[in-house]
Amino acid sequence: MRITIDIDEKTLAEVIKFTGETKKGPAVVKAATDFLRRRKVSEYARRVMEGAFEDYPLTNDEIEACDR
């Protein structure tokens, strides 16, 4: 899908630098994809620590209390 976005040159230069891409489009796609992946991991970790899954019945506080 093609879209048009306004992004300042400094931010775009940083996105290109940190993604390692040489072209603008792939750099923005990589940055957006990485952002989404990190948010999903963070949400999953939060749910695990809250005990939302039967495979992980203990909260983070309960695990730390076990003093491994």
Query: Can you spell out the DSSP letters for the chain?
Result: --------HHHHHHHHHHH--SSHHHHHHHHHHHHHHHHHHHHHHHHHHTT-STT--S-HHHHHHT--
What pLDDT is recorded for position 18?
96
pLDDT band at 65 (very low <50, low <70, confident <90, very high): confident
Cut 0.85: pTM above it: no
